[in-house]
Chain A
Amino acid sequence: MGSRYLIRKVVGACLTIFMIVILNFVLFRMMPGSPDRILLRNPNVTADAMAAARIRWGLDKPLIPDQLVDYLESTASGDLGFSFKFHGEPVTDVLAGRIWPTVILFGLGEVLAIIFGLALGAYSGWRRGGPIDYIGNGVSLILYSMPYFVIGILILGVFAIGLHWFPTSGMLTVGGSGDDSFPSQLLDFLGHLALPVTTVAIGLIGQYSILMRSSVIETLGEDYITTARGKGLTSGRILRSHALPNALLPAVTLIAINLGYVIGGAITVEVVFNWPGLGTLTVTALEARDYPVLQGIFLLLSISVVVANLIADLIYGRLDPRVRS
């Protein structure tokens, strides 16, 4: 891959992140109210104490440039401020504790959805009109049109409440499962993970399979597929070495763009299963008006979307020689 392509993409991503950081500052300053108003809820607060607080928080300085510069400096040094809700804990610490559950849940869900969704879609498109296509396409449409929380509640109702196969909520059994050894801890974690991951995967499979199906069907109609048939290749080889490399291109784009929405949708899945990730944290922070934490989540999610897009661009560059030049 050309290094110029790589540099261009990385520089583009950095610029986007910088714009997001600025926007993150502006958006939250545009919200009604001000942090010092919270102090006014206390009837005994004095004007001096108010002024002192304003100086301490830097609110006495003009918004632009002083506050913006302060904000940029601290953001760059990894200081995202302090949480209101979690007793003044640094926002970075609050986020750090919640990132991994979300990454594991959605990372695994995405991977499963990509594997099964793309495989189902590719097969349906290849054997268009066959039984797998009819059933697969129908089921995919239904799943595609269902919001995560509906899928989550159905799964929860059947497998946790009805059949008691899996725990209903959380990431680990509260108070420990009685055995602290690593294997049993892991098993406990996986048991808790199973239903939410399935929910995420199912929610995405329909979408990916429908996209992949239409992409494969479109690709199979291309002239170079006729050429491949003319060359006497078996249909399996035509699919593998001519159709799929081309059909995957739109899928890569969709998956990357989707990642933003996926994390948005994450909130509902995490809430349904009470999964201690960024989704539940968002809800908690919203309820408590914990602006610094919200700001941190906002920044983190934006950056992950940008990074996902960057990765998609790089994969796209590998898959499609046309975008490199």
Chain B
Amino acid sequence: MTDPSRSGTPALDDEVADAAAVATRAAALDAQTLIRGRRQWPLPKQADPNAPLLVVEHLTTRFKMAGGSIKAVDDVSFTLNDGEALGIAGESGCGKTTTALSLVRLLPANGRIGKDSSVRLFGIDLARKSEDALRRYRWREISIIFQGAMNALNPVRRVNEQIAEPVELRLKVNKADAMKRAGELLELVGIPARRGQAYPHELSGGMRQRAMIAMALACDPAVVIGDEPTTALDVMVQAQILELLERLRRELGLSLILITHDLSVIAETCDRVMVMYAGKVAEEGAVSVIFRTPRHPYTQKLIGAFPNIHADRRTLDVIPGSPPDLREPPPGCRFHPRCPFAMAVCSVEVPPEVTFADGVRVACHLYPAGSDGAPITRPTKDAIAGGVAEAGLGAGVFSDRDEAFDELEDALDPAPSHTLSPGHGLTDDHSLDQIQ
């Protein structure tokens, strides 16, 4: 791909960029007609048929607590195109699930979406909709595969009734036809239709998760959100469920948002990945790019924290500390207290999100706007020390300093080094192939 920021004349840059944009746009429209053409039910009335599938801008979600309010999601923007799978990654409590649930405002009673937030599905802004109007989009257009299907399915109702319920209600299909569709959906996810008579407790964990997936597909939704769909399952079943999701994506052209802290799942299943930290986007872009050359120190650490069965045995990276208390988030970059590269500016200024030529968006002072996507400053040990000292951090982080510096050296090295090899976090050859 041409890198406009590195080539000669600015005029030429623009032309190249325009041409690329037109080509991408055309390709996107093709996928769009292809996938939207498969819909069995018409688009919502107010939908703009040419609008992108899902555009989320400046999404902010606050929870009112006893001691004030916390921003669980802070100014998050992203796009999901037709047939695309976007992975949202990050530690527990970094706002992944809240981001996804905010799309259809499926929040606890104390949760509120900010005034500037917009969630445009086919160009319809769901954030502006009243609760009653939004209800019609829930499950019909955006459905959710919840984690832990044991608890997400009602224990006292038969599985097929639960799958048929949204079909009957949202699609206005009569009860008998809805039950028939429930049976078909169960077959689609590999459960014999007659097993739909069972109650959730009578199914195995993997079957329940399949039933949950069948339920999510019930209304042929535009977007399916997978909220840690494989978390509570054992490894073999996890693999089966992921395979099922991939097959469904291929066959149904699903547009998927997959939330997980398991990067190997994202590497296997997703086209793009969005790494979140403390309610903000740290880095977002194509899986193939981000897993090969993670820019944000948090992404690097996250990938480094995954074992690689193909590489030599090594001590896994750990990220010292834990995500900040969102009631009092650290000033500046929220990651700076844990960041081995923290500079003076990091504790003062919130890093802006900058999109680079390879389509990756990063919010980190190491990669300011106008840079070419490589860290511009090579911070000295003193600068790091200064930054760390200014952040008011203790000795625990200092001891990490030399190591951190070495790592930075590696990161700045043009040749891919072991710490940044794409093998991190991947569990098999298949996934390696996929991202290489």
A-side interface residues toward B, CB under 8 Å? 222-224, 226-234, 237, 241-242, 245-246, 319-322, 325
Q: Is B25 close to A, CB under 8 A?
A: no
Residues of B within 8 A of A320 (CB): 155-156
Docked complex Cα distance between A246 and B200 (Å): 14
Subset of 21 A-B contacts with CB under 8 Å: A222-B151, A223-B148, A224-B153, A224-B155, A226-B152, A227-B144, A227-B153, A228-B154, A229-B106, A230-B146, A231-B166, A231-B170, A232-B140, A232-B166, A233-B135, A241-B165, A242-B157, A246-B154, A320-B155, A321-B156, A321-B201
Q: Does B143 contact A (CB under 8 A)?
A: yes
Distance to closest chain A CB from B56 (angstroms): 18
Q: Are A230 and B143 in contact (CB under 8 A)?
A: yes
**Distance between Cα atoms of A325 and B139 in the complex (Å):** 32
Q: Chain A contacts of B140 at CB under 8 A?
A: 232
Whether the Cβ atoms of A232 and B201 lie closer than 8 Å is no
B290 at the interface (CB under 8 A from A): no
The reply to whether B156 and A230 contact each other, CB–CB distance below 8 Å, is no
A-binding residues in B (CB < 8 A): 104, 106, 135-140, 143-144, 146, 148, 151-157, 165-166, 169-170, 199, 201-202, 215
Beta-carbon contact of A245 and B106 below 8 Å: no
Which residues in A have their C-beta under 8 angstroms from that of B146? Answer: 223, 226-227, 230
Given the complex, which residues of A lie within 8 Å of B199, measured CB to CB?
321-322
A224 touches B152 (CB 8 A): yes
Complex CA gap A228/B199 in Å reads 16
Instruction: Knowing A227-B146, A230-B143, A231-B138, say if A245 contacts B157 (CB, 8 Å).
Output: yes
* Seed contacts A224-B151, A321-B201; 16 additional CB < 8 Å A-B pairs: A223-B151, A224-B152, A224-B153, A226-B152, A227-B144, A227-B146, A227-B152, A227-B153, A230-B104, A230-B143, A231-B165, A231-B169, A232-B138, A234-B135, A321-B155, A322-B156
CB of A21 to closest CB in B, whole Å: 37
Closest to A246 in B: B156
Contact (A232, B170) CB under 8 Å given A321-B156, A322-B201:
yes
Q: Which residue of the partner chain B has the closest CB to A232?
A: B138
With A234-B135, A245-B157 known as contacts, the answer to whether A325 contacts B202 (CB < 8 A) is yes
**Of B135, B148, B151, which is within 8 A of A232 by CB?**
B135
Contacts of B151 in A (CB 8 A): 222-224
Which among A229, A232, A242 is the interface contact of B137 at CB below 8 angstroms? A232
Q: How far is the CA of A231 from the CA of B143 in the complex (A)?
A: 7
CB distance from B383 to the nearest CB of A (A): 47
Chain B min CB distance to A234 (Å): 7
In the complex, what residues of A have CB within 8 A of residue B135's CB? 232-234
Report B-chain residues with C-beta under 8 Å of the C-beta of A233.
135, 165, 169
Please tell me if the beta carbons of A322 and B139 are within 8 angstroms of each other in the complex. no
- Tell me which residues across on chain B come within 8 A of A242, comparing CB atoms: 154, 157
Most buried by B among A228, A231, A320: A231
- Give CA–CA (A125, B154) in the complex, Å: 19
Residue from B139, B148, B155, B202 within 8 A of A231 (CB atoms): B139
Contacts of B201 in A (CB 8 A): 321-322, 325
Q: Is the CB of B156 within 8 A of A229?
A: no
Q: Would you call A230 and B106 a contact (CB within 8 A)? A: yes
Q: Are A223 and B152 in contact (CB under 8 A)?
A: yes
In the assembled complex, the CB of B60 is this many whole angstroms from the nearest CB of chain A, namely: 21
